[in-house]
Amino acid sequence: MSKLSVLASTGRRPATLALVAVVALGLAACGGKERPRADLAASQVTTIGVNSYLWRASLDALSFMPLLQADSSGGVIITDWYANPSNPNERMKVTVSILDRDLRADALRVAASRQVAQGGGWVDAPVQAATVQKLEEIILTRARDLRRSAIRG
């Protein structure tokens, strides 16, 4: 006689059925596809308010520029003016906003300002759209690489 039939015959049938149901539900929850822990940690359980891969990738991409502000809970990185030593008559300032906890292209917004030296001062100049798009592409590619590395372990 099995333990289950002994328990059922002693008047514990409702408790036994409840236990079997709980075990069955627990086992059923084991199936299916789980998200990798590293991915879950980055997008949902971070101590910063935004996607950690986008945050790290943004800091990496802008590492050559002096930072003016970096707010991880708000997802904003603002650089100070940077002049390339090979072109000292031009300087750039960049603002990166990370808008979401998920690693998505629309969770990233990059804005840039450019100035050129003219008459002893700095004058605002237009920034090519391709420059901003290229910077966004660099950040997104780096964020994807960081995510892949974290998932592989």
What is the residue-level pLDDT of the chain in tens, covering all 153 positions? 444 444 444 455 555 545 555 455 454 555 555 555 555 544 444 567 899 999 999 999 999 999 999 999 999 999 999 999 999 999 999 999 999 999 999 999 999 999 999 999 999 999 999 999 999 999 999 999 999 999 986
pTM, two decimal places: 0.69
Q: Which two tokens stand for residue 125?
A: 């100049």
What type of residue sits at position 115? Q
Nearest alpha-carbon partner for 136 in 124, 144, 126: 144
**pLDDT score, position 5:** 45
pLDDT of 84 reads 95
Could you give the CA distance from residue 35 to residue 21 in angstroms, rounded to a whole number? 26
Question: Quick one: pLDDT at residue 142?
Answer: 97
pLDDT value for 152: 86
E strands of 99-141, at which residues?
108-118, 121-125
Neighbours of 53 (CB within 10 A): 27
